[in-house]
Amino acid sequence: MSIPPITQFLPKVSVPTKATVALYRKVLAVFYIEERMKAFTRHGKCSFWASCRGHEVTQLGVVSFLRPGHDWFFPYYRSKGTVVGVGLSFRDIFLGMLSREGDPSSGGRNMPEHFSSRRLNLVSRTACVGSQFLPAVGVAKAVKAEGTDAVVYVESGDGAASEGEFFEALNWASREKLPMLFVIQNNGYAISVPQRIQTASSIRKIAEGFGIHAVEIDGTSYECVYETAPDLIRSVRQGNGPVLIEAKVVRLDSHSSSDDQRKYRSEEELRHVAELDPLQQMERWMMENKTISSTEIEQIRREIKEEVDSAANWADAQPGPDVHDLCAGIYAEIKPERTAVPCPRYVSEKSVTFIDAINHGLSEEMQRNPKIVTWGEDIADPKGGVFGVTRGLRDMFGERVSNSPLAEASIVGVAGGMALAGYKPIVEIQFADYLWPAAMQLRNEIPTVRWRSDGAWTCPVVVRIAVGGYIKGGPWHSTCVESFFSHIPGWRIVFPSCAEDAKGLIKAAARSQDPVIFLEHKSLYRLVQAKSLEPDADYVVPFGRGRILCEGTDATIVTWGITVYHALEVARQLQQQGKSVEVLDLRSIIPFDEEMIYESVRKTNRIVIAHEDSLTMGFGAELAARIAANCIDALDAPVLRVTAKDSFVPSAPALEALVLPSVGGLRAAIEQTLLY
């Protein structure tokens, strides 16, 4: 038998009749919802369906002791019992499952089974297995900071407990004694893979290894849930830290509408799990204990079925979602206004470094907004980060500045959760080369929140990332990543090249309603040419506004980051030969200043794009395509690109110089375009 054994549970407390009947009505509702969804799926009206039958008593029983709208809920794709328990209406459930107009969970954007309600604190989720754990930790961190007694409930199946983000969440929750209730529903299978192959130990023991109080219960028995859950929830509310329930349940239906469990489960096993059906167990228990009569059961069944069918029929009659606003909600504003960039008022007589400008900008914004928090590897004092960007901030702002575990997924995912709860995390990834463990959170979780919830949820986190070469850092400390993030809708991406812009853009990021990737080139941190006078606390550089650094008439160079200084040097050299080169600093990658580029091309009729990222699929390719589409009649020469080679960055200085763009290479490109 592949399902985990369910220990016979002998209740020590008497469950009140009223509570039993109330829960029974909800269990019946889940049953009839799933029955209607079977029919809708057979008729092609639902693209994805994952029955929660066998899990419903655990879900409904546990959340019955929680407070929707006060506590927080992170469901997964098999959570209809949970959403019924927290109070999502049957109509709203069917609207979401059928992707119909008025779907309050996502407006038809998200998949079926992905429910959301801001009113109930039911957080919109993705389909990514286990990716809800770290945002749940972030919300719990916010709850603890607010000093309330709210509990953050996060659930999954046993398969998700194999994901690394689950272990990271246990570690962070235990380390900070966060108010979290992990409910892992172990039905013995991750699709077709038995749990014994997934996990070497029991999930309860894994949690205990992280210092978390954990229990294992019969999740098909409401008496067991009733006896166990209240004390555990009370402990969490009292500030005693997280707890984990491993509920042994059964999966009565196939994994999902795309699966047929008869291919990998024997008839004997399926007959056995049917005998453990929580609904049938509940009815037998009520009859044996004379809680309710068979006549009353039939009456309740008719009432609930009629209620569910009415909601299902109503939802089925609704039209499909509006197709005109599909891209609405990806950003707070689809296209920022082209307002004038204010002239800075300087507060320093001497120039400050790029690194100090970021530090001062962070300090001013943390004074301005008490909801700003920051963490990362080694960022707290006395070190203040491996480059010293955050030095002094811990001394100024205390626990709002903290060191994190060496776990990039945690750094970013927890920040995303805290942003969901109304905070403004500004976190640091030490080197761009090491951000990839966080890719799930950076690609699927954070930038999709506003869109997938149809604007109900926002996640305005800022991720600071040290990027770039020219530091002899070799292949693991030299990556530029703007093109990677430019492919992900939802992120604002900025890449300043001087101290003045670094301060103005970090302040814009700190005030943004959207998530922001803030790229800091390591070679600029203390570069003399990147120094400038320091703008005051009110100086903010709007996203999408570039800067003309050098006026010219013969050719244009558009660039960003460290290659700005290559371009300025080329312009200086060619000026001595009577050639006039215009240099544009993009500053902001998403959105970028298209009009500035087009106006310059129409003036000079020639353009070279320079950046440090690789040639193939670098962001320069997008600029070249846009220029060709919008300025073809103004071009007197091909659009050229000067970039890094399609290679990893070598460690040896001579080899590094061959891979990365150079002043000489950029000058050769300008001279080539001037020949036309």
Using the 8-state DSSP alphabet, how is residue 397 labeled? H
| Two tokens, residue 22 | 């109330």
The band of 337, judged by pLDDT with boundaries at 50, 70 and 90, is low
Give the HSE-up count for residue 203: Cα atoms under 13 Å, Cβ half-sphere.
Answer: 33
| Range with lowest mean pLDDT among 130-139, 162-171, 321-330, 590-599 | 321-330
Counting residues of the chain whose pLDDT is more than 90, the rounded percentage is 91
Burial of residue 86 (CB within 10 Å: 0-12, 13-18, 19+) is: buried
Mean pLDDT for 289-303 is 92
DSSP state of 469: -
Helices (H) and strands (E) in the chain, counts: 24, 19
pLDDT at 290: 85
- What pLDDT is recorded for position 195? 86
Rg, the chain, Cα only:
29
What whole-number distance in Å separates Cα of residue 99 and Cα of residue 91?
Answer: 12
Q: Give every strand in the sheet of 555-559, ordered side by side.
A: 547-550, 581-585, 555-559, 607-614, 640-644
Q: Give CA–CA dist 106/116, Å, rounded.
A: 7
What does the pLDDT read at residue 343? Answer: 86
Rounded Cα gap, residues 307 and 213, in angstroms: 40
Helix (H, G, I), strand (E, B) or coil at 307: helix
pLDDT in tens, 519-552: 999 999 999 999 999 999 999 999 999 999 999 9
Q: Is the pLDDT of residue 2 over 60?
A: no
Q: Nearest to residue 313, comparing CAs of 26, 113, 100?
A: 100
Least confident of 265-269, 318-322, 576-580: 318-322
Name residues whose C-beta falls within 8 Å of residue 413's C-beta, 6 or more positions apart in sequence. 131, 133, 134, 135, 137, 138, 165, 168, 438, 440, 441, 445
Q: What is the pLDDT of residues 555-583, one digit of tens each?
A: 999 999 999 999 999 999 999 999 999 99
Q: How far apart are the first and last CA of the chain?
A: 77
User: What pLDDT sits at residue 14?
Assistant: 75
Tokens of 187: 């039905």
Which of the residues 55, 360, 477, 566 is marked catalytic? 477
* Residue 61: closest CA among 113, 26, 16: 26
Q: What residues form DSSP beta bridges with 584?
A: 548, 558
CA-CA distance, 620 to 506, in Å (whole number)?
Answer: 24
**Rounded Cα distance, 86 and 67, in Å:** 8
Mean pLDDT of 281-287: 91
Nearest to 561 by CA among 581, 597, 588: 588
pLDDT for residue 116: 97
- pLDDT tens, position by position, 16-36: 888 899 999 999 999 999 999
- Structural contact between residues 72 and 123, judged by C-beta atoms closer than 8 angstroms: yes
Q: Check pLDDT > 90 for residue 12.
A: no
pLDDT value, residue 155? 98
Residue 61 bridge partners (DSSP): none
pLDDT in tens, 481-504: 999 999 999 999 999 999 999 999
Q: Answer whether residue 9 shows pLDDT above 60.
A: no
* 493 and 485 Cβ atoms separated by less than 8 Å: yes
Instruction: Report residue 1's pLDDT band, with 50, 70 and 90 as the boundaries.
Output: low
* Tens digits of residue pLDDT in 125-140: 999 999 999 999 999 9
Please tell me the predicted confidence (pLDDT) of residue 402.
96
* Strand-pair category, 193-194 with 72-74: unpaired
Between 364 and 292, name the one with better pLDDT.
Answer: 364
> Is residue 272 predicted with pLDDT exceeding 70?
yes
Whether 281 has a pLDDT exceeding 60, the answer reads yes
In this prediction, residue 603 carries a pLDDT of 97
Instruction: Give the pLDDT of residue 16.
Output: 86
> In b/e form, how buried is each residue of 281-290, taking b as 16+ CB within 10 angstroms?
bbbebbeeee
Q: Is the pLDDT of residue 45 over 70?
A: yes
Report the C-alpha gap between 112 and 230 in whole angstroms: 31
- Yes or no: say if 530 and 353 are a contact pair by the CB < 8 Å rule: yes
DSSP state string for 439-451:
HHIIIIITTTHHH
- Tokens 């006896």, residue located: 227
Q: How far apart are CA 646 and CA 664, in angstroms?
A: 18
Is 213 marked active-site? no
Q: How many CB atoms lie within 10 A of CB 70?
A: 13
* Confidence (pTM): 0.95
Tell me the per-residue pLDDT of 60-75, one tens digit each, with 9 for 90 and over: 999 999 999 999 999 9
